Structure 1
Amino acid sequence: MNVAVVMGGYSDESVISLRSGQLILNHIDKSKYDAFEVHILLNDWYCLIDEIKYPINKADFSFKKDNQTIKFDVAVNTVHGTPGEDGHLQAYWELLELPYTGCSFYQSSLTFNKRDTLSVLSKFNIPKANSIYLSKGDVIDGDKIVLELGLPFFVKPNQSGSSLGVSKVNSLDQLDKAIEFAFAEDNDILIESFLKGREVSVAVIKYEGETKVLGITEILSENDFFDYEAKYLGKSKEITPADLPLDIENHVIETAKKVYESLGMSGFSRTDFIIMNDIPHFIEINTNPGLSPQSIFPQQATYAKIPMINLLNNEISLALQRKPIWKK
């Protein structure tokens, strides 16, 4: 079976995605699959074999080598950010009737949009921060924001990952810079109230027919919050499993499962919470979590004692079972 391990992307997260793709290539079951390294970059789609780039034919997601057309049976998607985490690639593969791992194009698009995710989860009584939504060109009233959210607060791009474009605002004189920083990533931004508490990240997957939590990791950032530098440049401590009282641990597990199921998720995910007053408050869900050596998800898989080869076999099996929406 030919498997495209798809990595890269059009955003600044592409560097992280390429590392994630290498981990998958290293752990995929080579007795079952012929794995191909496929790069999807802004100006170049290709399959990399022995340092030679073979262009991907976008008409059917195939490539030619030695005058032979090679097609894929399934795509393992590890593209962080656009177009692999916001639904675009998934919708394209759906039209080609090519099975793919992870959640569907709709869930991918929904969860990449922070505002829409929060709106859906509010119907399921998931605790979260208070927020204000702004678009480029809107009038921004700093005093009104402080009155509604208090200080400090966070400014975030509505659609972005890896904490790109995120700032913590401790005083109003920092607001303009934070807004400019967020708008550099997206035309829409969220301004969220500060939640004071312990930050945890929870891996949730569908595994052997059940919604399963792999583990809970506590984030202790050396920086003011868990920003890009803390995530990928060693400026944080990540403690797996998190040392939580049993009742709070169970509350986090049940809330993480509820988020996953409420959003209709499938595939790998990582959901972040702030535990404030013993209650986990939802921050965001990542539907293509990083799998680089610095990433949290592989740590949690190790804690759960599930080898990555088994997790990938499970993901590919789920992908092959899923049918395009018009064939259901």
Structure 2
Amino acid sequence: MKKNIAIIMGGYSKEYNISLKSGNVVYKFLDDATYNKYKIHIFKDKWVYVDANENEQAVDKSDFSIVIDGKKLKFDCIFNAIHGTPGEDGYLQAYFELVGLPQTACNFYQAALTFNKRDLLSVLKPYGIASAKSYYLNKGDAVNEDAIISKLGLPCFVKANKAGSSFGISKVHTKEALLPAIENAYEADDEIIIEAFLDGTEVSVGVITYQGKTKVLPITEIVTENDFFDYEAKYEGKSQEITPARISKEQEEKVSNIAKRVYEILKMKGYSRSEFIFVDNEPYMLEMNTTPGLTEESILPQQAAAAGISLAQLFDSAIKEALR
């Protein structure tokens, strides 16, 4: 019997349009012979099933069910394609656990932890996972520009602590630009992480659970035309994403082992994509994404393709792992 799969997309953050693209790609490539597929749009003002004619019907939040032709339809599994809150920060993971529905992303604790850049890097530090020097601010804190520059130097990166797709990120070259960058970051989150600039090769490493095993995908090198890998570089063609990365065998083995180790330390499941910068042959971790982009142009699908895994196989495996 075919399984009923809800593909959730949208979300409450600025990343909702990217999520809608990801969700539609999942809907397109998920095997029709194996699954009954349903698009579910999740926004602050509505949770709705969207049919082939773009008609909307409310989702019953008490058990995440819908009614079609007068009959209640329940789902066997949730395919999570939401970037940002509430699909990548643990809220929906906890909700689905409470209502007893398997879902394809990591569990709620791992989602909350990895979505918080400061907490993630702090948890991994005792395991020897290298990261840039950092300085933390919460909204309302006094800003000591001299102390920040003394600790981190210039240039430095000012980042919203809990945001994706490079929203709320600035590269700061001068003391005068520091306060405007902090205000920009506060537009995306009330917590900030400021990091020292790392001058080196940036790579993205996908680690997934595939056919019951942890699998590291071919590594992608990020080469941006802009000052850093910002929104334009990610989504408007202002970068090259080179898979496999042009790094040495030693570097490949080192960063692959670290990315896999992080995945296993955190007891992850589902998809992950971690970002690193090589400095003097040492990979420094920047962050981990647990609901990475899933469009045909996105990095994780590119990596899967390089590993000989089609989108249909990639999406099918995620559901089978969730149902396992």
Aligned to 2:46: 44
1:297 pairs with 2:300: yes
In structure 2, what is the Cα distance between the partners aligned to 1:41 and 1:166? Answer: 24
Question: What SS class does the counterpart of residue 219 from structure 2 fall into?
Answer: strand
CA deviation vs aligned residue, 1:205-235 (integer Å, no higher than 9, x gap): 0112321111111111110000011000111
In structure 2, what is the Cα distance between the partners aligned to 1:278 and 1:149? Answer: 21
In structure 1, what is the Cα distance between the partners aligned to 2:91 and 2:201? Answer: 34
Aligned to 2:224: 221
Moved over 3 A (4+): none
Q: In structure 1, what residue type is equivalent to 2:26?
A: I
Deviation (angstroms), 1:91:
0.4
1:320 pairs with 2:320: no
Question: What SS class does the counterpart of residue 84 from structure 2 fall into?
Answer: coil
In structure 2, what is the Cα distance between the partners aligned to 1:138 and 1:280? Answer: 32
255-264 vs 178-187, which deviates more?
Answer: 255-264
1:195 pairs with 2:198: yes
In structure 2, runs of 5+ residues without a counterpart are: none
218-227 vs 312-321, which deviates more?
Answer: 312-321
In structure 1, what is the Cα distance between the partners aligned to 2:148 and 2:228? Answer: 20
CA deviation vs aligned residue, 1:216-268 (integer Å, no higher than 9, x gap): 11111110000011000111011111111111111111111111112211101
Aligned to 2:236: 233
Q: How does 1:62-211 map to 2 (within 5 A)?
A: 62-211=65-214
In structure 2, what is the Cα distance between the partners aligned to 1:209 and 1:43? Answer: 37
Q: Is the 8 A contact 2:201 2:278 kept in 1?
A: yes
Q: How many residues align?
A: 321
Question: What SS class does the counterpart of residue 38 from structure 1 fall into?
Answer: strand
Q: Is the 8 A contact 1:63 1:70 kept in 2?
A: yes
Aligned to 1:326: none
In structure 1, what is the Cα distance between the partners aligned to 2:215 and 2:68? Answer: 40
Q: In structure 1, what residue type is equivalent to 2:5?
A: V
Aligned to 1:251: 254
In structure 2, what is the Cα distance between the partners aligned to 1:203 and 1:22? Answer: 21
Q: Is the 8 A contact 2:206 2:217 kept in 1?
A: yes
CA deviation vs aligned residue, 1:64-123 (integer Å, no higher than 9, x gap): 122111111110001000000000001001000011111001100110011110111101
Aligned to 1:278: 281
In structure 2, what is the Cα distance between the partners aligned to 1:258 and 1:60? Answer: 36
In structure 2, what is the Cα distance between the partners aligned to 1:16 and 1:188? Answer: 23
1:14 pairs with 2:30: no
Q: In structure 2, what residue type is equivalent to 1:127?
A: A
Q: In structure 1, what residue type is equivalent to 2:57?
A: Y
Q: How does 1:23-62 map to 2 (within 5 A)?
A: 23-49=25-51, 50-62=53-65
Aligned to 2:267: 264
Deviation (angstroms), 1:2:
0.5
User: TM-score, normalization: structure 2?
Assistant: 0.97
Q: Is the 8 A contact 1:231 1:294 kept in 2?
A: no
In structure 1, what is the Cα distance between the partners aligned to 2:206 and 2:54? Answer: 34
Aligned to 2:290: 287
Q: Is the 8 A contact 1:113 1:158 kept in 2?
A: yes
CA deviation vs aligned residue, 1:141-182 (integer Å, no higher than 9, x gap): 010111111111100011000010000011110011100110
Identity, % of aligned positions = 51
Question: What SS class does the counterpart of residue 219 from structure 1 fall into?
Answer: strand
Question: What SS class does the counterpart of residue 308 from structure 2 fall into?
Answer: coil
| CA RMSD between the two structures | 0.9
Aligned to 1:324: none
In structure 1, runs of 5+ residues without a counterpart are: 322-328
Question: What SS class does the counterpart of residue 32 from structure 2 fall into?
Answer: coil
Deviation (angstroms), 1:34:
0.2
